């Protein structure tokens, strides 16, 4: 029986080593959930980095890690510190990430990091090929592995390969500035199916294919080396039932209330409205702009002083990259300045947390917030917006969402804003805070219905179905 190999930069598990004792726990991210039916329940393996640099492991420990990981149906790609520094922190996060999110001024194109990117993609290809049998399917994820599809196709032309990009694909005018634009596109074209979150990203990709590689594109199919490559959009969903059920449990009395929950409830009694934002600490998420826009809101509508509070949760991320360190300093300063400017004896306008929170706390925050303020400057999809909606089991709550998030394409009932316009921000925040309950419920109902129908499992299955179809088309062409 054929199997599926899922490939992503990181494996869906956490490996921790303490004084030679090894602990492996599954990570509960959206991708792992979506892949469950293919990976843990089906016949499949997952290839990726374990999170531990290879040069920090003795040969015996490295073997042990590999064995333990195997039990979870995972295979690790050995990466050392230099790989991580040059391929991950370097090329992936200082060249591809900013460019694909339209942050041109943050891009750093280094030949040495490009060489590392190629080297590491080849390392991934070797591990995939070592584990590949004839007729297997491979599903590659994200911008760290753009060259991998072609590396596999070169050596195993009969393998069916799918690729999904979790971040935006930028417009041709941006992408054309990239020094290795041809190599990147050709790397991606090793796939039989290329998936994006939205139709716009798909369109941008096809436009680069036409103008940079001068290939024939017929609607959403590319003719390349006598192969037909399909391109399509698959907006990623969340594990809707998991969020909904957790919220129902938190609303019932059966669960002992956490300190955070008690504190949030005091807030409700004080009759203050809670506004929530949750992001990874990343410059694409628009955190400083949001804080400044919130200041503008309080200046414009002073009647909301002492009546609202912004709970801003930021998860530490890529803190070895200088731009992320700068962002952290800027955020700290802005929060301090705004709190200093407006605070009274009994009120601080912004509660700021810089840490990762356990799932239970996240649910408490979602269910206690009157408004979710999700305002990235640019975001492939944004799952936080979807998680907020799924937890609103009582039907109230308002989502204010940036037009620049992929999620906005399917969430029309949210209040959509341009995150760079303070006026737009302030007006819509006011509108959210004063929205009649009936309207909140109507909007939520439509949003929830759509998210429930197109959840993460459905997303993975649709991609797979489409990938299998490309296989059938190839087989019939070969037989002819
Ligand atoms: P991310 O940029 O990481 O993902 P997002 O889609 O919002 O962004 O997912 C973040 C996840 O982290 C959410 O599931 C959220 O619950 C969790 N999280 C956030 N803050 C947390 C905290 N303080 N503690 C614990 N958990 C927290 C990339 C792209 C996105 C795209 C996804 C999926 O950048 O655009 O939506 O991949 O394709």
What pLDDT sits at residue 263?
A: 78
Bridge partners (DSSP) of residue 354 are 314
- CA proximity to 356, closest of 1, 19, 29, 135: 29
Q: pTM, whole model, 2 decimals?
A: 0.96
What pLDDT sits at residue 146?
A: 98
- CA proximity to 158, closest of 141, 140, 136: 136
How much is the average pLDDT of 99-116? 97
Q: pLDDT tens-digit profile of 287-312?
A: 999 999 999 999 999 999 999 999 99
Q: Ligand 1, atom 33: nearest CA belongs to which residue?
A: 166
Q: Please answer whether residues 163 and 140 qualify as being in contact, where contact means their C-beta atoms are separated by less than 8 angstroms.
A: yes
Band (pLDDT 50/70/90 cuts) for residue 337 is very high
Find the catalytic residue in 142, 379, 424, 455: 379
Residue indicated by tokens 């939520």: 444
- Ligand 1 atom with the smallest distance to the CA of 385 is 7
- CA proximity to 198, closest of 143, 170, 231, 235: 235
Band (pLDDT 50/70/90 cuts) for residue 319 is confident
Helix (H) or strand (E) holding 405: none
Helical segments of 343-455, H only: 359-368, 383-390, 422-433, 437-453
- Ligand 1 atom with the smallest distance to the CA of 315 is 23
Q: pLDDT tens-digit profile of 205-240?
A: 999 999 999 999 999 999 999 899 999 999 999 999
Band (pLDDT 50/70/90 cuts) for residue 345 is very high
226 is catalytic: no
Percent of the chain with pLDDT over 90: 81
Give the Cα separation of 432 and 430 in Å (integer): 5
Q: Please answer whether residues 62 and 49 qualify as being in contact, where contact means their C-beta atoms are separated by less than 8 angstroms.
A: no
Q: Please answer whether residues 162 and 463 qualify as being in contact, where contact means their C-beta atoms are separated by less than 8 angstroms.
A: yes
Rounded distance from Cα 319 to ligand 1 centre (Å): 16
Rounded distance from Cα 280 to ligand 1 centre (Å): 7
Rounded distance from Cα 240 to ligand 1 centre (Å): 15
Binding pocket residue ranges, ligand 1, CB within 6 Å: 30, 166-167, 236, 278, 280, 313, 315, 356-357, 362, 379-384, 387
The answer on pLDDT for 158 being more than 70 is: yes
The answer on pLDDT for 412 being more than 80 is: yes
166 is catalytic: yes
**ipTM of the modeled complex:** 0.96
The answer on pLDDT for 418 being more than 80 is: yes
């Amino acid at each position: 029986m054929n199997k599926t190999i899922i490939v992503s930069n990181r494996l869906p598990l956490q490996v921790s080593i303490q004084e030679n004792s090894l602990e492996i726990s599954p990570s509960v991210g959206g991708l792992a959930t979506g892949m469950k039916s293919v990976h843990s329940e089906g016949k499949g393996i997952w290839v990726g980095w374990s999170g531990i640099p290879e040069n920090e492991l003795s040969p015996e420990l490295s073997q042990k890690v590999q064995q333990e990981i195997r039990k979870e149906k995972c295979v690790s790609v050995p990466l050392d510190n230099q790989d991580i520094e040059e391929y991950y922190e370097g090329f992936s996060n200082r060249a591809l990430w900013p460019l694909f999110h339209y942050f041109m001024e943050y891009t750093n194109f280094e030949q040495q990091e490009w060489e590392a990117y190629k080297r590491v993609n080849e390392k991934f290809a070797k591990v995939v090929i070592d584990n590949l049998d004839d007729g297997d399917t491979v599903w590659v994820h994200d911008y760290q592995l753009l060259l991998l599809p072609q590396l596999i196709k070169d050596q195993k032309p009969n393998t069916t390969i799918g690729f999904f990009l979790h971040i935006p694909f930028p417009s041709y005018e941006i992408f054309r500035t990239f020094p290795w634009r041809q190599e990147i596109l050709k790397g991606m074209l090793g796939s039989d199916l290329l998936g994006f979150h939205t139709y716009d990203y798909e369109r941008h990709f096809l436009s680069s294919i036409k103008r940079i590689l001068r290939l024939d594109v017929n609607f959403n199919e590319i003719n390349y080396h006598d192969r037909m490559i399909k391109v399509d959009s698959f907006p990623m969903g969340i594990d809707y039932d998991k969020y909904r059920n957790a919220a129902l449990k938190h609303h019932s009395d059966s669960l002992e209330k956490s300190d955070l929950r008690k504190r949030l409830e005091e807030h409700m009694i004080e009759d203050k409205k809670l506004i929530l934002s949750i992001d990874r600490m990343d410059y694409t998420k628009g955190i400083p702009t949001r804080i400044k826009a919130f200041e503008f809101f309080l200046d414009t509508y002073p009647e909301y002083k002492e009546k609202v509070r912004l709970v801003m949760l930021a998860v530490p991320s890529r803190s070895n990259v200088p731009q992320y360190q700068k962002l952290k300093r800027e955020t700290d300063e802005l929060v301090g300045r705004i709190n200093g400017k407006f605070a009274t004896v009994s009120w601080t306008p912004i509660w700021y947390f810089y840490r990762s929170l356990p799932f239970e706390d996240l649910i408490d925050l979602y269910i206690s917030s009157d408004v979710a303020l999700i305002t990235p400057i640019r975001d492939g999809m944004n799952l936080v917006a979807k998680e907020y909606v799924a937890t609103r089991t009582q039907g109230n709550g308002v989502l204010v969402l940036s037009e620049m998030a992929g999620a906005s394409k399917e969430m029309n009932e949210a209040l959509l804003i341009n995150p760079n316009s303070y006026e737009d921000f302030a007006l819509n925040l006011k509108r959210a805070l004063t929205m009649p309950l009936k309207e909140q419920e109507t909007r939520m109902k439509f949003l929830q219905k759509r998210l429930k129908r197109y959840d993460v499992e459905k997303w993975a299955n649709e991609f797979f179905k489409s990938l299998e179809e490309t296989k059938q088309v190839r087989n019939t062409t070969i037989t002819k």
